[in-house]
Amino acid sequence: MSHHDLTPVMAPAAGPAIGSGSASGRRRPVPTAALRGLAGLAGLVAVLEVLPHVGLVSADYLPPASETGRALWQLLAEDPFWTALGDTLTGWALGLAIAVGAGVVAGVVIGSVPLLRAATASTIEFLRPIPSVALIPVAVLMYGTDLRSKLLLVVYASFWQVLVQVLAGMQDVDPVADDTARSYRLGRWGRVRHVMWPTALPYVMTGVRLAATVALVLAVTAELVIGSPGLGRELAVAQSSGAVPQVYALVLVTGLLGVAINLVARAVERRALHWHQSNRRRGAEG
């Protein structure tokens, strides 16, 4: 009873494999692809440099790449920048940790009791799509520019990502494995621990990866709109004082932060699932 993936329509492409060392073709394609990618990035920098010089775009709106680079270099030399970066990362990490912890616990509890699952389904479906930015005014009133208002937004947004993935994973249990565990007289907890959790883990990791990205977006948003300390607030300040190159430099920093978070999340995912990767079915899409 080979239980292989039978879905030809959607291959389990788990995102572009950056830096993946798959067994086949380790030599050739990877360096070419990397070189081409570097060429692409260099091209972007060149375009950004040339556009304002030629006069296609006013340098007031889009400073040449060299100027943005200089602004970035200056930022990196200043303490406030590093404090802001630390603030952003603190909000992100704390919010993500709370969301993942709460999401996994709630998901395992709800997912392992069918009645609970049926009873909460409609509530989850209603609460999940509520845009977290709707909470901005509430957060401002209750917590001001405190770290807590950032956390409220981050946790609300990323909690659902995790919860929904955990629930999807717990439901994906192979009935044969579950029946086998039952006939071996595994209790409810034993089945959760040894059958459901390993099945759900890939989904959970996908949820954590999605949540990590969402958490960064909401952390920066809170700083930008509410004015909690962090990169977002620095950006708002730079914008209102007309320091255009700094604005671009900070946008670039948030982008690089996003890329870094993505790469780390994927690496963690690969590590945690090294035993599973080969027959991995794609998790319920985000």
Partner 1 sequence: MTVHTVFRRALLAGGLPGALFALWWFTSAGSTDFYLPPLSTTLGKFGEVWTPERLRSDVLPSLLRLTAGYLLAVVAGVGLGLVVGTGRVVRDVLEPVLELFRAIPPPVLVPVIMLFAGIGDTMKVIVIVSGCMWPILLNTVEGVRAVDEVLSDTCRSYGITGPTRLWHLVLRSASPQIVTGMRQALSIGIILMVISEMFASSNGLGFTIVQFQRSFAIPEMWSGVLLLGLLGFLLSLLFRFAENRALAWYHGLRRAQRNP
**Cα distance between residue 96 and residue 268, in whole Å:** 15
Stretch 40-99 residues interacting with partner 1 (CB under 8 A): 40-41, 43-44, 60-62
Stretch 258-277 residues interacting with partner 1 (CB under 8 A): 258-259, 261-262
**Cα distance between residue 201 and residue 107, in whole Å:** 12
**Contact between 142 and partner 1 per CB under 8 A:** yes
**Cα distance between residue 206 and residue 266, in whole Å:** 9
**Cα distance between residue 57 and residue 65, in whole Å:** 13
Residue with smaller CB distance to partner 1, 66 or 213: 213
**Contact between 131 and partner 1 per CB under 8 A:** yes
CB of 248 to partner 1, least distance (A): 7
Residue with smaller CB distance to partner 1, 37 or 187: 37
Give the ranges where 113-230 is alpha helix by DSSP (H): 114-127, 136-143, 147-171, 175-183, 188-191, 197-221
Which of 68, 132, 206, 228 is close enough to bind partner 1 by CB under 8 A? 132
Stretch 231-260 residues interacting with partner 1 (CB under 8 A): 232, 235-236, 238-239, 244, 247-248, 250-251, 254-259
Q: How many CB atoms lie within 10 A of CB 193?
A: 14
Which of 154, 163, 220, 249 is close enough to bind partner 1 by CB under 8 A? 220
Which of 26, 33, 83, 182 is close enough to bind partner 1 by CB under 8 A? 33
**Contact between 18 and partner 1 per CB under 8 A:** yes
**Contact between 38 and partner 1 per CB under 8 A:** yes
Instruction: Count, in order, helices (H) and strands (E) of the chain.
Output: 11, 0
What residue type is 175 in one-letter code?
P
Q: Could you tell me if 159 and 103 are in contact, meaning their C-beta atoms sit under 8 angstroms apart? A: yes
CB of 190 to partner 1, least distance (A): 25
**Contact between 136 and partner 1 per CB under 8 A:** yes
